[in-house]
Each structure stands twice: as C-alpha cells, then as structure tokens.
Amino acid sequence: MSLNKNNDEEKTKSRIVNLDFLRGFFIILAMDQHFTYYINMWYVEYFRDAMALTSTYKIHFPMIGHQVPTDSANMLLDWIFTPWVSQVYLTLAAFNLAKYTQSVLKDTLSSKIKLYVLIFLFFVMENFIVAPNLGQAISFYPIMLWMFVLSILGIAFSLTGIWGIIVLTVLSFFRFLLPVEMLSDLFQEMIKANIHPGFEYDARLEYFFTSGCLGFLMGWVHYHKPLLKNVKDYYFAFAGLVMIAFYVAWGDPYFQDPANVFLHEHDLARTFSGTLYILGVQTVLISVFLWLEKRSIKLNVPIVNWVGKHSILIFAFHRVFFVRILAPLSVMAGALMGRTLGASIWEIYLYVGITTAVCYFIKKTRMGELILQIKG
C-alpha cells in the first residue's frame, strides 16, 4: 500500500518538459489574442479618458468608435490558433489531473474543488476590473469554464473511475443530437434581456467539455497504462489525423476578422466537423510532443517553459495589467509621438514580452510575498 502511495507521489512531482513548453507556448498565444482583441476594440469600448480628447489625446480623437485591425502576420497566427488555443490549455490541465489514481484523487478531491472554486471566483472578480460594462463583467469566459470542467472530471473519476470519464466523453461527443445549443442560446438571451445586453455566454460547456475529456483520457493512458507506452502516441496521433482529414474533406472553412480577433472564435466548435478538427489537432500535437520527450528530445526554452510552469500567474495578471496599465501608457506614449494605438505583430509581442518580464520580476522577487503578506 505504501509503495503505491510512493509511486503516486512520484507521479505528482514529475513534470513533462515538452508539455510545459506547449503550455507556455499557448499561454503566450493567449496573451497575443487578448492584447489584440483589446486593441481591436480599444477606441470602441475601452478608451475611458474622454475629458482629454481635445487636448492631451487629440491625436486619438478621430479613432473613437473605430476598430483597430491587426496586420496580416498576426492575423495568420490568429487564424491558425484561435479556434483551439483556449481548448488545448484545458486539455493539458485535464491530462495533468489524470496522473492521480482514483483513490488518491478521491482523497484530495475536496482540496482540489476548493482550489478550482477560488480560481473561478478570482477570475469573476477580474472580469469586473477589466470589463467595459456590467454585461461583460458577468460573462462566462474560458478559464472560468475550465475550472468547472476540471471539477466535473475530478468528481466523475473519483466516484466512478475511468468508465465515468468514458461515459462523459461519449455524451459530450454526441451533443449534436441534443438541443444543447438551443438551450445555451436561450440562457444567453434571458440574461441579455433581463440583466444586461452586453452579457455573453462565451465559453459554453458544450464547446469545451470534449476537450477536457480527451485530455483526461490521454493522461490516464499515459500514466496508468505502461503496457501501451510504446504505441499509445502512434494510436492517438493516427486517430487525430483521421479527425483532421474528416474536417478537411467535409468541414466548412474558417474565417478570421482582423478587426475583432474573437468574432469567430467558436465557429468551428459549433459544428461536428469543426469539433473533430479541434480534437484532432490537439491529439496529434500532444502525441507528437510526448513521443519526442520519450526519445529524450526535450524542448526546454527557458522563457516559454517558465511561462508554462507559472501559467496561472500569467493568466491572473496579464489582462488587468494590459487594460489598466500597459494600454493606457501606450495611448499616452502615442499621444506624445503623434500616433494612434496599433495592433501589428511586433507591437503585440512587445506587450507580451513586457508582461512576461513583469510576471517574472514578481515571481523572482519578494513582491508577491509582500502583496500577499507571506512571512518568510
């Protein structure tokens, strides 16, 4: 019994370097998307200093009410990654959750649920800080949904084992046979009509749940089926390629709006073929990176992997930092230099770099401890 517990503890301590890289890479892309969107909509929803439009900010006056498009290079990145980048982070989180045995997860479930609830509440509060109106402040966004999905998966596995996850996977995969989308639309319209018209049920459970199940199943096989360790990545990758081929053959094309990076974010997730494409890309990508790690080919890029290891810090910080500090300072700098806010790829990644550097400073110094009043 103690030997099994020791094995479980070793599993929880081990990290997969290539998945840290992937997680960091996708967090960087998430910052790209968020910063691009805020600049897209800055002069429509986020500019909040109208008092100075005829003096300090007169260069920005003609832009009020206009969306700022991004350039072709950044739009290409957004076109490739937007449909699934917020999905794969959940998939990786569920993969990580699956490293626990049923008994260990059952013993630690209450603490994990408490953590997920606290993270959920934190990002609800964050919405009120960054949102331009009450409707968006109470909207339901991906990281909030991730906590909900991880809680369901944790409860299902601790109570029913892997068969509970399989049942959830089948139900979520065939959601297209049920009126789930209609119920989600009805819920959204009720909130819009009765509370605030700016509300969005943006990250819908039906769009993301199968990705969570996929990650858990892949993680469970990886950690608990050693007899499949030499072939599982091939099987998963082949299944992913089949799903991608189905989309290529029969799926509808995906379009990207350079002036609103999130306008078509969930278009693929709404369709069966698009869902197969999202699942297929994730399956192939994770399988390839696990295969590389198994052959001691580890992608350890210090900045990217550091972001992957501290992804919650980045998520908790980057939106507030950009909307409340970085973008207003950029608007001021633009006023001094005679230029309006732009969304070119080099500008976006300048903001990404600054944000990452500030997070690194907070983590590596005692600033975080001072803010949280942690005694050393």
pLDDT, residue 374, reads 55
Tell whether the model's pLDDT for residue 84 goes beyond 80: yes
pLDDT, residue 370, reads 66
Inter-residue contact 48 to 351 (CB < 8 Å): no
Please give the distance of CA 15 from its chain centroid, rounded to a whole number. Answer: 20
Tell whether the model's pLDDT for residue 46 goes beyond 50: yes
Tell whether the model's pLDDT for residue 368 goes beyond 70: no
pLDDT, residue 170, reads 94
Tell whether the model's pLDDT for residue 9 goes beyond 50: no
Average pLDDT of 78-100?
A: 94
Tell whether the model's pLDDT for residue 331 goes beyond 50: yes
Q: What does pLDDT average to over the chain? A: 91
Q: What percent of the chain has pLDDT over 70?
A: 94
Tell whether the model's pLDDT for residue 73 goes beyond 80: yes
pLDDT, residue 3, reads 45
pLDDT, residue 52, reads 83
pLDDT, residue 202, reads 87
Confidence of residue 2 (pLDDT cuts 50, 70, 90): very low
Average pLDDT of 49-60?
A: 86
Tell whether the model's pLDDT for residue 182 goes beyond 70: yes
Tens of pLDDT, residue by residue over 189-235, are: 999 999 999 999 988 999 999 999 999 999 999 999 988 988 999 99
Domains of the chain by residue range? 2-372
